[in-house]
């Protein structure tokens, strides 16, 4: 009886916390679909606000998608080889580099952005292009790719696997293609989803780095909140949810660890 009471108490608390987080989301989504938020749901439901967001801000959506994919490409090209080297050479230097890589995550995005502007702001062609934002995003997301791939590489016995492949005649590139890449697929996938999600939602840095012609989705969102009616801002949030939720769900699915299996010896 006592245990049942405790269970109910825990269940209640969990539901309360969930409600605390989920209710604002639902309200926000409803606001984006309501004709007049101040009148309430009686005013009726509409997709008018969503359409207005689409018409006014679809460029920011495309820019954000393009930016996050470019960011993904850059972190794959830079991050996987970096993780490979860090996994293969465990020295004081590589460990220091591993720690330094996390700096852009620890330092506030605004500070990183300011540093970029101070350094490269005078290169006008670069400053006004979306590539400028891309640099910021790559700086910010690269550690997530490296860490994610590195974690998988450290968990498998990479050295022996590569030695095994080498003994069978595989040269460096063959080993990298056939052994290293396929075996860190989980880490690459998890890292990729993380990078795309983070790049898509990045605001701090982007807010400083953007120009009126290079607005990303979150910057547009801030714009909409600040200057347009609440329903449009909320509809914008809804669009953002629709884009980011599948990524988050996929990330959860890939993050699940595969349970280690024990296979008993068979008697012959």
Partner 1 sequence: MTDTGKPVSIALANCAKTFADGTKALEPLDLAIHAGETVVFLGPSGCGKTTTLRIIAGLEEPDAGGKVLFDGVDVTHLPIEQRNVGMVFQSYALFPNMTVAGNVGYGLRIRKVPDAQVKARVSEMLAMMQITRLADRRIDQLSGGQRQRVALARAIAVRPRALLLDEPLTALDAKLRDTLRLDIDSLLRSLGITAIYVTHDQAEAMALGDRIVVMEHGRVAQIGKPREIYQQPATRFVADFIGTMNRLTGATDGGVFRCKAGIVPWSEAPATATEILFRPEDIRVAESGETANLQGKVASAFFLGDRTRLFVDVGEERPLVIESTARRDFQHGEAVGLAIDPRGLLVL
Q: Per-residue x/- mask for partner 1, residues 248 to 267, rule CB under 8 A?
A: ------------xx-xxxx-
Establish if 165 lies at the interface with partner 1 (CB under 8 A): yes
Cα(82)–Cα(94) distance, integer angstroms: 10
Which of these segments, 3-11, 128-136, 180-188, 219-227, binds partner 1 (CB under 8 A)? 180-188
Closest CA to 62 of 214, 226, 227, 230: 214
85 binds partner 1 per the rule CB under 8 A: no
Pick between residue 48 and residue 177 the one whose CB is nearest to partner 1. Answer: 177
Give the angle 157-158-161 at the CA atoms, nearest 5°. Answer: 90
CA distance 240 to 221: 9
Taking the C-alpha atoms of residue 38 and residue 131, their distance in angstroms, rounded to an integer, is 41
Place of tokens 């490296």: 146
What are the beta bridge partners of residue 34?
45
Q: Which of 123, 168, 249, 255 binds partner 1 (CB under 8 A)?
A: 168
What are the backbone dihedrals phi and psi of residue 110, each rounded to the nearest 5 degrees, phi first? -60, -40
Residue 151 sits in the site that holds partner 1 (CB under 8 A): no
CB under 8 A: which stretch of 76-84, 167-175, 228-236, 239-247 binds partner 1?
A: 167-175
CA angle 244, 247, 250 (to 5 degrees): 150
Q: Which of 5, 125, 182, 212 binds partner 1 (CB under 8 A)?
A: 182
Cβ at position 132, least distance to partner 1 in Å: 39
The one among 119, 122, 167, 227 contacting partner 1 by CB under 8 A: 167
Region near partner 1 per CB under 8 A, out of 20-28, 174-182, 225-233, 237-245: 174-182
- Among 188, 222, 189, 186, which Cα is nearest to 204's? 222
160 binding partner 1? (CB under 8 A): yes
Q: At what angle do helices 185-201 and 130-155 cross, to 10 degrees?
A: 150
- What residues from 185 to 214 belong to the interface with partner 1 (CB under 8 A)? 185
Residues that bind partner 1 (CB under 8 A): 156-157, 160-161, 163-171, 174, 178-179, 182-183, 185, 260-261, 263-266, 268
């Amino acid at each position: 009886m006592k245990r049942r009471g405790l269970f109910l108490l825990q269940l209640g608390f969990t539901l309360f916390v969930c409600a605390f987080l989920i209710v604002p989301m639902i309200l926000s989504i409803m606001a984006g679909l309501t004709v007049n938020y101040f009148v309430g749901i009686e005013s009726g439901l509409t997709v008018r606000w969503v359409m207005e967001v689409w018409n006014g801000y679809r460029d920011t959506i495309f820019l954000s998608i393009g930016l996050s994919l470019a960011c993904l490409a850059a972190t794959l090209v830079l991050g996987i080889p970096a993780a490979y080297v860090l996994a293969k050479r465990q020295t004081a230097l590589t460990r220091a580099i591993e720690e330094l890589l996390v700096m852009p995550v620890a330092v506030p995005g605004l500070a990183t952005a300011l540093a970029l502007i101070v350094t490269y702001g005078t290169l006008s062609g670069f400053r006004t292009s979306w590539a400028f934002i891309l640099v910021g995003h790559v700086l910010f997301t690269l550690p997530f790719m490296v860490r994610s791939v590195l974690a998988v590489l450290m968990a498998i016995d990479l050295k022996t696997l590569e030695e095994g492949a080498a003994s069978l005649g595989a040269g460096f590139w063959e080993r990298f293609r056939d052994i290293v890449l396929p075996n860190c697929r989980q880490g690459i996938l998890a890292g990729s989803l993380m990078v795309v999600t983070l790049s898509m939602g990045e605001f701090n840095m982007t807010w400083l780095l953007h120009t009126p012609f290079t607005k990303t989705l979150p910057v547009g969102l801030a714009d909409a909140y600040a200057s347009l009616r609440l329903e449009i801002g909320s509809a914008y949030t809804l669009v953002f949810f629709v884009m980011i939720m599948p990524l988050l769900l996929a990330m959860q699915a890939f993050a699940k660890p595969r349970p280690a299996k024990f296979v008993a010896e068979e008697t012959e």
